[in-house]
Amino acid sequence: MALSGLQIYKLLPGSSANPTIKAHANCKECGFPTCLAFAMKLAQKQAELSQCPYVEEEAKGQLEASAAPPIRLITLSADGRKLEVGNETVLFRHEKTFFHQPGLFIRVKDNQPDLAEVAQAVGQYKVEYVGMDLAPDGIAVEAAGGDFAAAVEMVKANCVLPLILLSEDPATAEAGLKAAQGVRPLLWTATPDNWQVMANLAKQYNASLAVRVNDGDVNALAALAEQVKEAGVEDVVLDPGLRDYGHSLTGFTQLRRLALKQNERRVGYPLIAFAGDDPLLAGQHIAKYAGFIILDHFSPATLYPLLVLRANLFTDPQKPIQVQPGLYEINHPGPADPLMVTTNFSITYFSVANEVESSGLPGWLLVADAEGMSVLTAWAAGKFDAERIAKSVKNGEFVEKLAHKRLIIPGHVAVLLGELEEELPGWEINVGPREAVDLPNYLRTMWG
Ligand code: SF4
């Protein structure tokens, strides 16, 4: 568990009873005026322990342990693609932010006839959402009685995403790991019956290892993770064996709480979840608290909303998603086409741009720097006022491209009309609709 500034101070030379160490108290070599000031900065993670050369070894061990993230970062990779999961520090997004979104994996079976086609489709699937490219993260290859090694090779040949290998049988798992060489996969699963040999395989082939119990027994899971760790596998993933809504919700939440609030290091690892073909269950796992989620089939209709949900939960709530301020051309506008202005909050921008684009009408969209806020929020915060809008217009060389001086402002800030007319003499200011969805009709009827 993270230590407070005062707890850290007690481990520094300033409060030490050892006269040799104590002699350095408040020596300022760390760049801070006192040991206490340094301790406070350490607690806020704004300083590095290595800045103080006089910390005793024992204290250093305690401080480093407290600084380690409560949930270990696990990295899977393949062909230059990397998936990082873990390092989470909060239970609720609003407390700080979630750092690493859970990996969404599509399950394929080694006896599946359309294996290559599915692997290709998963690897190529990508959708754009408010300026971000969203895509699944990998493929989980399951040993189901076919040729596991050949299946892994086929998936690798058709898709460059990271892999999870699903096999409880050590010999089959080893064949898959050999075929997966060159990628860093996750091997599922070590159980109380096979963990020694699976741990050896994970070490030998540099794979992460998922440990599993069948009934959500947290003590048994923690003990199994500890055994695997003592056998030399650091990158562990936990599978509490819970597959339904209620038990997985309570079990996953309990494990997250234990790791974050009780500093229970034995369960300080990401969780793996199996959602079958149930998008609601997958959505629950995205929110609480899976690190890897396996879906049974590839379906864009299921995947798209899950990717969007994930993107929304795993953005920093303190940093609005923004687009670059500037002038955007929609549908190849000409000099006589309308000029609209909005803010640089991504969702606002894409709402407006998508409506105009799908209408087929050409137009110029001026995006003012409103610090990533939506129209009304930015106006209320003084970030989207007449002065700023006028500045965006005056600073834009695009004015020379236009054969008119007419500007359409969002209906929500109609109140700016008078001020804008003063700030932009010679311009005609038009008040557009309040909602982006009404823009095409407005442009057809009012612009001519
Ligand atoms: S380097 Fe900083 S923390 Fe270390 S003894 Fe000197 S003042 Fe204290």
- Confirm if 83 and 90 have CB atoms less than 8 A apart: no
158 and 99 co-located in one domain: yes
275 and 171 co-located in one domain: yes
Element at 77 (helix H, strand E): strand 74-78
Looking at 45, 67, 89, which one is the last position of a domain? 67
Looking at 313, 340, 372, which one is the last position of a domain? 313
Measured from CB, residues less than 6 Å from any atom of ligand 1 are 12-14, 24-30, 32, 35, 38, 52, 54
Sheet holding 183-184, edge to edge: 81-85, 74-78, 183-184
Report helix, strand or coil for 116. Answer: helix
- What is the CA(59)–ligand 1 centre distance, in A? 14
119 and 239 co-located in one domain: yes
Nearest CA residue ID for atom 4, ligand 1: 52
248 and 104 co-located in one domain: yes
CATH for 434: 3.40.50.11600
> Residue 110: which domain range?
74-313
372 and 435 co-located in one domain: yes
Q: Within a domain: residue 321? A: no
281 and 341 co-located in one domain: no
222 and 355 co-located in one domain: no
85 and 212 co-located in one domain: yes
21 and 127 co-located in one domain: no
- What is the CA(65)–ligand 1 centre distance, in A? 20
b/e map 156-187, b = 16+ CB within 10 Å: bebbebbbbbbbeeeebbbbbbebbeebbbbb
d(CA 150, CA 384) in angstroms, rounded, equals 59
Q: Within a domain: residue 339? A: yes
Say how many domains are in the chain.
3
- What is the CA(53)–ligand 1 centre distance, in A? 8
DSSP 230-272: HTT---EEEE----SHHHHHHHHHHHHHHHHHS--GGG-S-BE
Per-residue pLDDT tens digits of the chain, which is 448 residues long: 567 889 899 999 988 888 888 888 999 999 999 999 999 888 877 788 889 999 988 888 888 877 777 899 999 999 878 999 998 888 998 888 899 999 999 999 999 999 999 999 999 999 988 778 999 999 999 999 999 999 999 999 999 999 999 999 999 999 999 999 999 999 999 999 999 999 999 999 999 999 999 989 999 999 999 999 999 999 999 999 999 999 999 999 999 999 988 888 899 999 999 999 999 999 999 999 999 999 999 999 999 999 999 999 998 887 778 888 889 999 999 999 999 999 999 889 999 999 999 999 999 999 999 998 999 999 999 999 999 999 989 887 788 889 999 999 999 999 999 999 999 999 999 999 999 999 999 999 987 6
pTM of the model: 0.77
Question: Tokens for 63?
Answer: 């401080």
Q: Within a domain: residue 368? A: yes
